[in-house]
Chain A
Amino acid sequence: MFSIPVFFESFGPLLWAARYTLLISFLGIGLGLILGALICAARLSPYAILRRFAAVWVSFLRGVPLLVQLLVFYYALPVIGLDVPAFVAAIVTVGICASAYISEIWRGAINALPRGQSEAAIAIGMSPRDVWSRVVLPQAVSLSLPALINELILLVKASSLVSVVGILEITRSSQAQAATTFRPLEVYLAAACIYLMINLCLAALGRYLEHRTTV
């Protein structure tokens, strides 16, 4: 029998655990945006060595599962003498992994802009820097917003993987509760509801931003 009280009672601890899920996904995407911008800049730069580095970075990170990256990172850091908390290791790994995808999202958005957009700016005598900051980037950012929100939603779901390094986020918390209550169905269903609520909110945010920036 499905126990409705157990289902509702499991929300409390799960919502508390959701702070880790949210922190790791949001800080992870924040780091991913910064690193992704740098990687994208390297990819579009005139220097072959930077382009090569960026290409390797992207293909390596996209070719290895996040779970394996987490484990490697978590166990590799102490070896090189860095004793960082699991939480920090998780954010850094998630951010690095996201940077590979985000740099590609940005490269795609920049390449999707018609050449005429920057040509019109160059023709009136704008400096390369103004062409970028006034014409290319504002459009690339709004073009990339749907894909970035999508990436954030993927990260919220992928953050369940950080349970392997011992962080008590939603998934690990639900496993623990399932074990103590012997009511796995109720608890996992509650966990599913929480993930769904978070991601529906993010999707709504995405629609709002898209609506606000497209004209």
Chain B
Amino acid sequence: MQASSVEIRKVNKFYGPFHALKDIDLSIPPGKVTCLIGPSGSGKSTLLRCMNFLEEYDSGEVRIDGQLIGYDAPGKRMSGRKLREMRRSIGMVFQQFNLWPHMTAHENVAEGLIRVRGLSKADAMTRAADALAKVGLADKMGNHPSRLSGGQQQRVAIARAIAMEPKLMLFDEPTSALDPELVGEVLNVMKTLASEGMTMVVVTHEMGFAAHVADQVAFLEKGELVDVDTPSGILHHPKDARIQSFLRTYHERNSF
């Protein structure tokens, strides 16, 4: 599998006067799993969404395999066609799944193959079936999203992304909307993807996943990237007081 790298340099993002991302520098190595953690409102989603330009950053650079995304040159917006071309190879999985409710699971996955990759309907349906089999849903292909559990819906959403054969996968809290007993099935699919060498950027509150699967963990707070390190460096030997306090709160909330 080809895997992309992402280089983020001096990225700033404003919502009106609010400074949501402050001079972010981060390197996402190819074929590795990077987890973004941090308190609510710290800018994790915003940063992740800058990587496929769902969110426009105001200054700095986000490069996918060296190519600037969203801009041809600093300040000069890229054409829609070129941006779509780049997005083709970037998969995204959302907290709320965002499956299209008027299509079956099978159609949800095939849609992008037909409209974006230009496959014939028959080829798209075959490829979509393969992707669904890969996430363990071969027997649920004909179901509409409303007839699937949350965990199954999220696995369809992952299948929809991987069917496009992306070189980079972005996950925004993929298990946060799930009942606890359904979290495992989604994390397992993600682990398989990671073991196949997919570049993955995962915003998560699952510290266990970050500890066991991530190659690096980045901690954000109030729009600043506080630290990037190995999982154990961030989670077991945090240097910054802000990370220590975040982890303390996390452990208190998750102990009983």
Give bound CA distance, A133 to B108, whole Å: 14
Find out whether the CB atom of A123 lies under 8 angstroms from the CB atom of B84: no
Residue B101 lies at the interface, judged by CB distance under 8 Å to chain A = yes
Residue A120 lies at the interface, judged by CB distance under 8 Å to chain B = yes
Residue B160 lies at the interface, judged by CB distance under 8 Å to chain A = yes
Give bound CA distance, A215 to B80, whole Å: 33
Give bound CA distance, A183 to B94, whole Å: 68
Chain A residues closer than 8 Å to B91, beta-carbon distance? 123-124
Give bound CA distance, A142 to B160, whole Å: 24
Find out whether the CB atom of B88 lies under 8 angstroms from the CB atom of A120: no
Give bound CA distance, A145 to B91, whole Å: 33
Closest to B94 in A: A116
Chain B residues closer than 8 Å to A114, beta-carbon distance? 96, 98
Chain A residues closer than 8 Å to B161, beta-carbon distance? 124
Given A134-B115, A135-B100, A139-B102, A126 contacting B84 (CB threshold 8 A) = yes
A-B residue pair count with CB separations less than 8 angstroms: 68
Give bound CA distance, A134 to B103, whole Å: 10
Whole-angstrom distance from the CB of B246 to the nearest CB of chain A?
A: 27
How many residues does chain B have at the interface if contact means C-beta atoms less than 8 Å apart?
Answer: 28
Give bound CA distance, A41 to B92, whole Å: 29
Give bound CA distance, A134 to B91, whole Å: 19
Residue A180 lies at the interface, judged by CB distance under 8 Å to chain B = no
Residue B112 lies at the interface, judged by CB distance under 8 Å to chain A = yes
Given A116-B94, A117-B98, A128 contacting B80 (CB threshold 8 A) = yes
Given A114-B96, A215-B146, A125 contacting B54 (CB threshold 8 A) = no
Give bound CA distance, A142 to B146, whole Å: 16
Given A120-B100, A139-B102, A125 contacting B94 (CB threshold 8 A) = no
Chain A residues closer than 8 Å to B112, beta-carbon distance? 121, 124-126
Find out whether the CB atom of A125 lies under 8 angstroms from the CB atom of B100: no
Give bound CA distance, A130 to B114, whole Å: 11
Find out whether the CB atom of B90 lies under 8 angstroms from the CB atom of A123: yes
Residue A122 lies at the interface, judged by CB distance under 8 Å to chain B = yes
The 8 A CB mask of B90-120 against A (1 = contact, 0 = none) is 1110101011111000000001100110000
Chain A residues closer than 8 Å to B144, beta-carbon distance? 215
Q: List residues 157-205 of chain B with CB under 8 A from any CB of chain A.
A: 157, 160-161, 164
Given A135-B100, A139-B102, A215-B144, A125 contacting B87 (CB threshold 8 A) = yes
Sample (18) of A-B pairs whose CB atoms are under 8 Å apart: A117-B98, A117-B100, A120-B92, A122-B87, A123-B52, A123-B54, A123-B91, A123-B92, A124-B87, A124-B112, A125-B87, A125-B88, A125-B164, A126-B115, A127-B80, A127-B115, A139-B101, A215-B144
